[in-house]
Structures are given as C-alpha cells and as structure tokens.
C-alpha cells in the first residue's frame, strides 16, 4: 500500500525528533558523569589516622574536661563552670544526626559538646554548643548547634553543612525571632576546637574569613556571618597558643592547648566588649582547666556516680 506523502513527512519528522532527543539524553548523562568526576577530583582526601589517635579516641570512652569559668556578661565578671566533652561517633550525612547502626556510609566524627553555667544576679545562664567534625579533617563541620537558656527565655540555632551552610535560628527577641538563611562555606570558629584535637598543624593562620561562634553572636546580638580576622599559631614549650582577632568586633579569642598529642585544651580567654550602649566595656572571659577524665559517661547515670562530678570539681 502506497502511503500518502504527508504521512511520510510526519514519520520522518518523528524519527528525527526521537533521534535528537536520544542524543540529548546521552549528552546529559555524559555531562553528569564528567561533573561527578570533576567533583571527585576536587575533594580533599581523607587523612590517615595515627595509631595513637585510634587508641585514644576509639577506646569506648569520652574525654571530659572541667574548667573554672570567669564569664563576662552585662559588663561584669561572673563565676561559673565550663565542661568540654569530646567523643567519637558515627554520623549520618543525609539526616545529619548520630547513626544508630553501623554502616559503611557513616561518617566518623569527633563531637564536642561545650557547656557553660553561671549566674547573672538572681537568675542562671545555661549554654550548650555541639559541633560534629570529620575525624579525617577533610571537610567543614557537618553540623553545629547552640542553645542558651535563662529566665528571660531560651534561644536555639542550628547550622547544617549541605550545598551551602543552612542555618535555622529561633529566639524570643522580636528583632531576631525565627530565621532561615544560607551562608557560603567560610571557616567556622566552632569547628576549630575540633581541629585542634585532630591536627593543630592544620589550623589556618594569617588573614582569613571566619564565622564567629554561635554563642558569641547570640550573646552579643551580632549578625551570624563571616568577618575578617587574623589567626596565629605559636609554640610556647609545653603549650601551643592559637589566637584569633576580629578587628571589626573588637574581639580576641586565645586558646592554649598541650603541644603534644592528644592536644588537650588547658585554658582559653576571650576579650570583647561586654554590656550594651554607653555601658559596654572591654572585659576578658577566662577558663582554666580543673581536671580531665576519660569515661563512658552515658553509662554513669546512677546516684552512686555523683562522685565523678566531685572529681571534676563540679557542683
């Protein structure tokens, strides 16, 4: 049967379109593969973990260090306590939480929970910051969270490391209230405390862009973004000092840690304006170590374990 001329043209056009579409699909696939390969080339390689690191951080315990705290708040120095709790954990990249089950896709992290407790007159302050940092030191922190509780109310913020830094913040202050925003991946002050414990030789120095700690920006009502800063690393015999200065914030953070592994945090200080308006003055917050213990604290939740707090000098 002889087909009409118009129908032949229709079939020819359809086949041409199909062929073009198929070529487009292959091209897109090839481009995607090339893009993935390019991304893989730019990834920072994992650093080998030393035997000493594995023996110390994978012994089934956490490292807990207590500190005497002299905290600047509202233009005065307050006495209190601080605790740094370091522990390794498996981390889920997609959900960005601690993994419940062992899996090859889990990311091993060194988690730091920092707590501070002090009084401002009649009412107490309780502050906690958590940072989750890859033990292979080949990425930014995967997650940072911070909460502050006092009698006026409580506030909470969380940063998730995805394509960008995704930040969610909640506050009882009208001017801050509920916020969601993204930041480019600049250095995080909150991740530096983890980097010190893994490889202090890899700490950034010189003129750099740093996002200050969530605790600082929250307490001082500063915008959570990157600021120009200068960082230096100095060896002082048994101790190494890491100092960050933020000119625009009139703030300097100085951390002293042991020069040898496991690079324990011995003390730190933070000088910055305290108070608001004309009453603000430059004051220095200080924390000096009381004691460090290594223990599986999550199992020690009985009344008979209260003596461990006494050993840390915590009330």
Per-residue tokens: 28: 């897109």
The mean pLDDT value for 207-222 works out to 96
Helix (H, G, I), strand (E, B) or coil at 137: coil
At 43 the pLDDT is 65
- Cβ-Cβ contacts under 8 Å for 16 (sequence gap 6 or more): none
265 in Cβ contact with 274 (< 8 Å): no
At 9 the pLDDT is 41
Which phi and psi angles does 268 have, rounded to 5°? -155, 160
118 in Cβ contact with 73 (< 8 Å): yes
- Cβ-Cβ contacts under 8 Å for 8 (sequence gap 6 or more): none
Question: What is the number of residues in the chain?
Answer: 315
Which phi and psi angles does 263 have, rounded to 5°? 55, 50
At 44 the pLDDT is 76
Report whether pLDDT(14) > 60. Answer: no
Give the other-Cβ count within 10 Å of 23's Cβ: 10
Q: Which of 94, 183, 191, 91 is nearest to 141 (CA)?
A: 191
- Cβ-Cβ contacts under 8 Å for 164 (sequence gap 6 or more): 182, 183, 184, 185
Q: Which of 168, 127, 173, 170 is nearest to 149 (CA)?
A: 127
At 184 the pLDDT is 97
Of 23-37, 122-136, 171-185, 263-277, the poorest mean pLDDT is in 23-37
* Residue for token pair 């062992």: 102
244 in Cβ contact with 236 (< 8 Å): no
Report whether pLDDT(265) > 60. Answer: yes
pLDDT digits (tens, 9 = 90+) for 87-97: 999 999 888 89
pLDDT digits (tens, 9 = 90+) for 115-126: 999 999 999 999
64 in Cβ contact with 104 (< 8 Å): no
* Residue for token pair 């394509």: 163
Report whether pLDDT(280) > 80. Answer: yes
- The 8-class DSSP code of residue 206 comes to E
Which phi and psi angles does 111 have, rounded to 5°? -95, 140
At 102 the pLDDT is 83
Percent of the chain with pLDDT over 90: 76
Q: Which residues on adjacent β-strands are paired with residue 264?
A: none
């Amino acid at each position: 049967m002889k087909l009409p001329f118009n129908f032949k043209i229709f079939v020819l056009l359809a086949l041409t379109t199909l062929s073009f579409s198929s070529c487009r699909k292959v091209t897109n696939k090839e481009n995607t593969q090339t893009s993935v390969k390019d991304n893989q080339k730019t990834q920072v390689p994992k650093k080998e973990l030393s035997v000493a690191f594995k023996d110390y951080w994978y012994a089934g315990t956490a490292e807990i260090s207590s500190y005497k705290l002299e905290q600047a708040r509202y233009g005065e120095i307050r006495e209190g306590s601080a605790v740094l709790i370091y522990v390794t954990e498996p981390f889920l990249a997609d959900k960005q939480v601690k993994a419940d089950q062992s899996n090859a896709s889990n990311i091993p992290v060194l988690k730091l929970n920092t707590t501070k407790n002090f009084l401002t007159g009649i009412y107490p302050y309780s502050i906690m910051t958590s940072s989750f940092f890859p033990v292979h030191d080949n990425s930014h922190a995967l997650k940072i969270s911070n909460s502050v509780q006092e009698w006026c109310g409580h506030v909470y913020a969380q940063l998730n490391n995805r394509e960008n830094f995704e930040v969610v913040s909640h506050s009882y202050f009208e001017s801050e209230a509920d916020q969601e925003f993204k930041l480019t991946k600049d250095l995080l002050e909150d991740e530096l405390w983890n980097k010190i414990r893994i490889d202090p030789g890899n700490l950034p120095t010189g003129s750099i862009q740093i996002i200050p700690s969530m605790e600082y920006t929250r307490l001082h009502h500063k915008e959570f973004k990157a600021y120009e800063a200068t960082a230096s690393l100095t060896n002082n015999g048994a101790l190494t000092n890491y100092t960050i200065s933020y000119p625009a914030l009139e703030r300097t953070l100085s951390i002293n840690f042991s020069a040898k592994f496991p690079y324990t945090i011995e003390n730190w200080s933070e000088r910055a304006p305290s108070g608001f308006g004309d009453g603000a003055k430059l004051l220095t917050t200080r924390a000096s170590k009381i004691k460090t213990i290594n223990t599986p604290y999550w199992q020690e939740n009985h009344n008979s374990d209260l003596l461990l707090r006494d050993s840390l000098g915590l009330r």
